Amino acid sequence: MNSQELTSRFALTHDPESSRRTICGTDVIIHCHHYNSRIQRTIEGAAGIDGKKIFVRAAESVFSGMIRQAIRPGDSTAEKWEIAAALYSHLGYGKLDLSSLSTGLALGTQSHFVEGWNAGFPERKTPVCSLTSGYLQAAHLVVTGDPVSVREEECMVGGAKVCRFAVNRSRTEPAATYQRRPVPGPTGKPSTPAPSNIDQKKITEALVAMPIHGNNDGLLPAFNVYLANTPIDFYNLACFSFIEEMDRLKIGAAAKSQLMADSEYCGINTFQGIISSPEWAGLVGPMIKDQQRDTMHGIVAVSNALGWGNWQIVEHTPAQSLRLESRNGYEATGFLELRGKSQVPSCLMLTGAAAGIMELVYGEGSERERFGQFASRETTCRSCGGEACGFEVTEAS
């Protein structure tokens, strides 16, 4: 299949109103290798639950839908495998070698998650490519109709030359699926954004026009980090299931704090990479007149363009406080779609990231020292019936 055909099948659509990025009929959001490896570490590292299974099943259920959308009725079996591998690379997860599949073996020769773990937790030696295992299960299901179990036996993170995945065809467990109910879009009028010199529209247009997809290695180095396009449903299914399982052990609150902490680190780390990148200097740099205030607004504008939703700074006292409003954050919308109305706010990623970006712009010291210098809370959430989600960040006492 020629690359032009593949590119057209994976074409990005972007809705400026909602800030949603869609590939193969699936809403995706761009996060970097720091965030992805951190939440995986949180979910898979928790004692008393099978976090790896949560990660793999979320990937299997979401990517089977996505791969299905990429395939056309006339495609041959070989073409279907080719499309599945190409989509994996296009999204930025790395590179798959499926030439030995008939012997029950798949190889990963490049890996977004290995990059993430090596950057954040280089001591890790056991396999980290759980998302890949789930992706391969999804691909197998779509191409052959049969659910299989895929286990990573050897991983580059532990020093292996390639990641080796064993495909077991004697699986008895049914394929992972999920239901999503339709949810009406946000209602009411958005609050007026706080003033800044940042042209959000220009940033969004530039980032939407930018080819944010995997290179020849299936990796996506940009803004000083490795990015990946990940389905919103994957993050939501993995995080919601994790919290529910931890709730059963009566430690759901600790699980949420940890996910928020991961996002707070992401706010510091990821955006540190972004604001010191040549892409930022070229695109956002010329708009910055008031260094710190405009940097805050620039970061929020970039995050919206990456598919985080449409959140805006509505009040900001430099170095002291920040108030944000999100009208269609993927966590609140996802909770309503996947679980229904919530009793408590759902937007852990945005809550943590809001503190992280304040710490990045106004905090002092190393990343570790900045962490915790600001406190963030979600005061109202769309998943609880509010018109929008509201976040308040203040100096930590």
Minimum CB distance to Zn ion, residue 152 (Å): 6
Q: Strand, coil or helix: what is 357?
A: helix
DSSP 8-state class, residue 194: P
Strand bridging mode 221-222 / 163-168: unpaired
Minimum CB distance to Zn ion, residue 211 (Å): 26
For Zn ion, the closer CB: 139 or 288? 139
Q: Is the dihedral of CA 141, 146, 147, 148 positive or negative?
A: negative
Strand bridging mode 374-380 / 321-326: unpaired
Q: Strand, coil or helix: what is 15?
A: strand
For Zn ion, the closer CB: 90 or 327? 327
**Window contacting Zn ion (CB under 5 A); options: 41-49, 216-224, 254-262, 382-390:** 382-390
> What values do phi and psi take at 188, rounded to 5?
75, 175
Q: By 3-state DSSP, what share of the chain in percent is helix, strand and coil, each rounded to 5? A: 50, 20, 30
Site string for Zn ion, 158-197 (x = CB under 5 A): -----x----------------------------------
Interface with Zn ion (CB under 5 A), residue total 8
347 binding Zn ion? (CB under 5 A): yes
Buried b (16+ CB within 10 A) or exposed e, 298-312: bbbbbbbbbbbbbbb
**Window contacting Zn ion (CB under 5 A); options: 55-63, 142-150, 358-366, 379-387:** 379-387
Query: Locate tokens 């026009």: which residue?
Result: 209
143 binding Zn ion? (CB under 5 A): no
142 binding Zn ion? (CB under 5 A): no
> What values do phi and psi take at 356, rounded to 5?
-60, -40
Q: Is residue 211 a contact partner of residue 267, using CB atoms and an 8 Å limit?
A: no
**Window contacting Zn ion (CB under 5 A); options: 24-32, 99-107, 279-287, 331-339:** 331-339
332 binding Zn ion? (CB under 5 A): yes
Site string for Zn ion, 208-247 (x = CB under 5 A): ----------------------------------------
Other CB atoms within 10 Å distance of the CB of residue 200: 20
Other CB atoms within 10 Å distance of the CB of residue 76: 9
Minimum CB distance to Zn ion, residue 115 (Å): 10
CA angle, residues 293, 350, 275, in degrees to nearest 5: 40
For Zn ion, the closer CB: 295 or 303? 303
**Is 282 exposed, middle or buried, given 0-12, 13-18 or 19+ CB atoms closer than 10 A?**
exposed
For Zn ion, the closer CB: 280 or 311? 311
For Zn ion, the closer CB: 125 or 201? 125
Contact residues for 349 (Cβ-Cβ < 8 A; gap 6+): 235, 259, 260, 263, 266, 331
46 binding Zn ion? (CB under 5 A): no
Minimum CB distance to Zn ion, residue 282 (Å): 33
For Zn ion, the closer CB: 330 or 362? 330
For Zn ion, the closer CB: 164 or 213? 164
For Zn ion, the closer CB: 276 or 379? 379
**Binders in 13-32 for Zn ion, by CB under 5 A:** none
Which residue, among 69, 25, 7, has the nearest Cα to 232 in the 3D structure?
25
129 binding Zn ion? (CB under 5 A): yes
Options 155, 232, 268, 361; binder of Zn ion; rule CB under 5 A? 155
Minimum CB distance to Zn ion, residue 146 (Å): 24
**Residues near Zn ion, by CB under 5 A:** 111, 129, 155, 163, 332, 347, 381, 389
